[in-house]
Structure 1
Amino acid sequence: MASLDLFAGENNDVTRFSERAYLLHGYVERDANAILEQLREVIKQSPLRQFVTPGGGKMSVRTSSCGDFGWITDRKGYRYTDTDTITGEPWPAMPAELKELAETAAKECGFESFSPNACLINVYHPGAAMGLHQDKDESDFSQPIVSFSLGLPATFLWGGLKRGGSPHKITLQHGDVLVWGGPDRLRYHGVKKLADGQHPLTGNVRVNLTFRVR
C-alpha cells in the first residue's frame, strides 16, 4: 500500500488514508467529557464484560453496547441481539448526542444517510488488543463504520480486503474519529496491544465506540 501521506486531503483536520476511509483528527475531543458521562450511565445498565469467541478464547477488551441492537460473541458465534444476554433486558438506548455526533462525522466524509442503530463499546486496558478482522455481521454493507477513540493513544491497523500482508499503522489520539465505507467497508482492521499510560479523563484505559447499522 502507498504511504498514508499520499491520501492527505485539503482539510488539515481530515486525512483520507484509503479510497473511502478517513481520519478526523480530534473531532470529538471537545465533547469527550459529555460522551464519557453518558457512557457511564449506559454501563450502569449493561455492564462491561469479556466475551468468549466461538473458538473458546477470551477477548482482551471489555465490551458493552447501546442502541436497538448490541454485538455479542460466544460459542454459538458472532451476532447482534436486541437483548443484553447478561441482564435479560433490552440494550440501553443510544444517547441522542452520540448518535448525532456519529451521523455528523459520517456526513463530513460524504456518507449522508448514515443513521446507526448499534454502538459497540470497547474498553482497552494496557495489553489489550484486537486482532485483524472484518466488520461483517451487519446486514447492510452500504452503510459506513464510524469509530470514536477516547483516552490513551492506540495504534490502529488497516489491512486489505483479504487476510495477510502488512497493514498500515495509524496512531489514534484522544478525540480522533475514523470513518470508512464504500469499497473499504470490508477491510481487515485491528488494534495493536495498548501501551501502559495515563490519561486525564480515562486513567489507564482507551475507550472505543463503534457506530454501525445492524
Structure 2
Amino acid sequence: MQGELFGDLPGPSAARGRVAPAPGAVLLPGWLDAEAQLRLVAACREWARPPAGLHAVRMPTGGMMSVRMVSLGWHWYPYGYRSAAEDGTPVKPFPPELGSLARRAVADAYGADAGEIAGAASYEPDIAIVNHYPHGAKMGLHQDRDERIDAPVVSLSLGDACVFRLGNTETRTRPWTDLELRSGDLLVFGGPARFAYHGVVRTVAGTADPGLGLVGRLNITVRQSGLVAGAADETGVA
C-alpha cells in the first residue's frame, strides 16, 4: 500500500495515479473535484434527514454497526432490500443525478474494457447506500451479495481518509490488499472482484479538508439491484 497513512510518501503533493489492485477493481484517486465533493456532502445531509433518514443498523447477532447509514432507491437491511425504511416510511428515491455520476464512474474506470466486465456496458444503478463513519468507526470484511445482478459497485469517498481492505472472493483471510482512500477518490469493483470480501480497517481523524464541514468519513456506494418494484421474495422486498 502507498500513502501517508503508512508514512511512505513525502507529502500531500505526491502524485497518486490510477491503481488496479485486482482484476475488475480500479481506484481513481481524486476523481471528484472540490466542488463535486461539496455538492455531494450537501446532498448527503439532505438524504440523512428523516423520514427514512440516517440510522444505526442492528445485526442479526444483536450487535450494532459502528457506522450509520441511509439508503436510496431500496432500503438495505441485513441481509436484503425492501421498499420501506426501519421507521416504516417509504425509502427515499434514487437520485437520477447520482445514477449519471455512477455511470460516468464506471466508464472512466473501465474505459474500452467495459465490455469485458459483467454489467459495466449496460450499467443502470438504482440503489445507493450512504455510510457515515464517525471517528473510530470501521467495517468488517463482507461481500456485497444482496443484489440480484453482478453489475459493478461504485464507491465514492468523502471526508476523512481510511484504510480500505480489498480481499479475495473465497474467504475473509489473506490474500488481501490495503488501499488508502481519501476524499474525492473513486473505487469501482466488478467482474472477478465483484464479490470480493472488503471492509474498512480504520479511518484517520482530522484528515478531511476543513472546507467540507464534515466530521468523519462519508462513503457512497452505488449499485444495480436487479430487483423489480412491487415484487416480494425471500430478500424481504415488498
Give the structure-2-normalised TM-score: 0.78
Aligned positions of 1:148-167 closer than 5 A: 148-163=156-171, 164-167=173-176
- The C-alpha deviation readout for 1:156-178, integer Å capped at 9, x for no partner, is 00111122114211000110011
Asked if 1:139 is matched to 2:148, the reply is: yes
Is 1:198–1:204's contact at 8 Å kept on the other side of the alignment?
no
Q: Classify the secondary structure of the residue corresponding to 1:32.
A: helix
* CA distance in structure 1 between the partners assigned to 2:33 and 2:57 by the alignment: 29
Structure 2 residue matching 1:39: 3-state secondary structure: helix
Aligned position for 2:48: 43
- Structure 2: how far apart are the matches of 1:204 and 1:197? 8
* Amino acid paired to 1:34: R
C-alpha displacement of 1:137: 0.8
Which SS does the other structure have where 1:193 is aligned?
A: strand
Aligned to 1:96: 96
Residue 112 of structure 1 corresponds to: 121
Residue in structure 2 matched with residue 8 of structure 1 by the alignment: none
Aligned-CA RMSD value = 1.7
C-alpha distance in 2, partners of 1:170/1:100?
26
TM-score by length of 1: 0.87
In the alignment, the residues of structure 1 paired with residue 33 and residue 159 of structure 2 have an alpha-carbon distance, to the nearest angstrom, of 10
Could you tell me whether the CA contact under 8 Å between 1:38 and 1:95 is conserved in 2?
no
Deviation at 1:13, TM superposition (A): 4.5
CA drift of 1:121 comes to 0.7
Higher-Rg member (1/2) = 2
Could you tell me which runs of 5 or more consecutive residues in structure 1 were left unpaired when the two chains were aligned. Answer: 5-11
- In the alignment of these two chains, the number of paired residues is 198
Matches within 5 A, 1:2-13: 13=17
SS class of match (2:47): helix
Per-residue CA deviations over 1:123-159 (Å, capped at 9, x if unaligned) read 0011100101110011112x01000000000110011
Deviations 1:50-95 (A, max 9, x none): 101111111000111112x12113xxxx111111122x22211222
Structure 2 spans left out of the alignment, 5+ residues = 3-15, 115-119, 226-238
Q: Aligned partners of 1:195 and 1:41: how far apart in 2?
A: 25
The aligned residue for residue 52 of structure 1 is: 58
| Residue equivalent to 2:191 | 182
Write out aligned runs for 1:66-77 (5 A): 66-67=72-73, 69-73=74-78
Q: 1:162 and 1:13, CA in 2 relative to 1: closer, same or farther beyond 3 A?
A: same
1:27 and 2:27 matched: no
Aligned amino acid, residue 94 of structure 2: M
The one-letter code sitting in structure 1 at the alignment partner of 2:82 is: T
Assess if the C-alpha contact under 8 Å between 1:125 and 1:204 holds in 2. Answer: yes
Partner of 1:9: none
